[in-house]
Amino acid sequence: MYGQIKELEEKIQIESEKLAAIEQEISKAVIGQEYMIKRLIIGLLSGGHILLEGLPGLAKTLAVNTLSQTIAADFNRIQFTPDMLPADLVGTNVFNPKEGSFTPKKGPIFTNIILADEINRAPAKVQSALLEVMQEKQVTLAGQTYTLEKPFLVLATQNPIEQEGTYPLPEAQVDRFMMKLKVTYPEKQDERKLLDLITSFSQTPNIHQVISKEQILEIGNLVKDVYIDDKIKDYIVDIVDASRFPDKYNLESLKPLIEIGASPRATITLAIAAKAYAFLNGKGFVTPQDIKLIAPDVLRHRIIISYEAEAEEKTSDDIIQILLSEIPVP
């Protein structure tokens, strides 16, 4: 086993140059926000959809746009609006008067990377149209099913639900996002660098394509080979199970704060994300620390807090931190 891990880590060192090039290109346009950039790359490596939440002006859209420019893959941006229809997303049948028949006109969802901008400004029926696409990676149009080309990735941005003109995402759809990222204000020094970049007379940063979609798929296959020990798997299951039945783990104080615990999809996703996180950090194996660092992003949208938790001003992040601090580490 040690020999296999060593061999994998040698391959990781070779591929890490390509990933470092992606980070470097994104950093030309997005100052700071390293947390967000690394998580976007994790989603890219593991094929997991990502939801970015933050106030306007925090470079969410710019980061996704720049990421797409570094990859030789098809990219579409969809601006979600309250008057949007499902057909605007997946396409529709168009009547051809010459042939007297209907022909399918594919929508913008037929691409490699989708930027679903302000996804929570569209009504529920449009959001639900994404369900099949995100899970099955296929589209049913006029009774015919089309399989989407790999890689396929939905990177969605949303403003906090307190903002005007927003619709909460259906729980079934939220669960299909691998991670939910909380995008916060940049550090003071990063904001100063941003000001210098914007106010200088130099041209807009020139972003280069540094990796092909075939190379992304190859690296994704390597990520699957990252070793995860049985004890780490048990640790993941314990964390997720404790979010459903906290009293089994002597965490009775959490029971009234949790309305719904994390789904089995959280267990699978946490293991996959931890593998990608370890890979990104040059390791061929997953450690408990990898789990602790990536778990908040995987679980925060899957643990539904109760009214009592809201009254006590507790968030899902607070509950996750308690779980991570109390569940025994292998």
Q: Where are the beta strands (DSSP E) in the chain?
A: 50-53, 71-72, 75-79, 91-96, 101-106, 113-117, 138-141, 144-147, 153-158, 179-182, 211-212, 258-260, 304-305
Q: What's the pLDDT tens digit per position in 107-164?
A: 899 988 898 888 888 888 888 788 778 888 888 877 788 888 888 999 888 877 656 6
What is the tally of structural domains in the chain?
Answer: 2
Task: Give the domain CATH number at 38.
Answer: 3.40.50.300
Q: Does one domain contain both 263 and 309?
A: yes
Q: Are 184 and 54 contacting, i.e. CB atoms less than 8 angstroms apart?
A: yes
Confidence of residue 293 (pLDDT cuts 50, 70, 90): very high
* Average of per-residue pLDDT across 18-39: 86
Evaluate if residue 314 carries a pLDDT over 70. yes
Q: Does one domain contain both 171 and 303?
A: no
Evaluate if residue 244 carries a pLDDT over 70. yes
Q: What's the pLDDT tens digit per position in 47-56?
A: 899 999 888 7
pTM: 0.87
Q: Are 273 and 267 contacting, i.e. CB atoms less than 8 angstroms apart?
A: no
pLDDT in the model for residue 2: 67
- Average pLDDT, rounded, for the chain: 86
pLDDT in the model for residue 158: 84
**SS3 (DSSP) at 50:** strand
Q: Does one domain contain both 118 and 258?
A: no
Q: Does one domain contain both 44 and 78?
A: yes
High-pLDDT (> 70) share of the chain, %: 96
Q: Does one domain contain both 146 and 65?
A: yes
Q: What's the pLDDT tens digit per position in 170-221?
A: 777 788 899 999 888 878 887 787 777 777 756 667 888 888 888 899 998 9
- Rounded to whole angstroms, the Cα distance separating 246 from 41 reads 33
Task: Give the domain CATH number at 270.
Answer: 1.10.8.80
Domain hosting 292: range is: 226-326
pLDDT in the model for residue 12: 80
pLDDT in the model for residue 324: 93
High-pLDDT (> 90) share of the chain, %: 27
DSSP state of 186: P
Q: Does one domain contain both 162 and 246?
A: no
pLDDT in the model for residue 39: 92
Evaluate if residue 298 carries a pLDDT over 90. yes
Domain final residue, candidates 183, 217, 251: 217
Round to the nearest angstrom and report the end-to-end CA distance of the chain: 19
Q: Does one domain contain both 181 and 35?
A: yes
Evaluate if residue 95 carries a pLDDT over 80. no
Q: What's the pLDDT tens digit per position in 248-282?
A: 999 988 999 999 899 999 999 999 999 999 999 88
Q: Does one domain contain both 168 and 40?
A: yes
Q: Is residue 205 part of a domain?
A: no
Q: Does one domain contain both 192 and 236?
A: no
pLDDT in the model for residue 295: 95
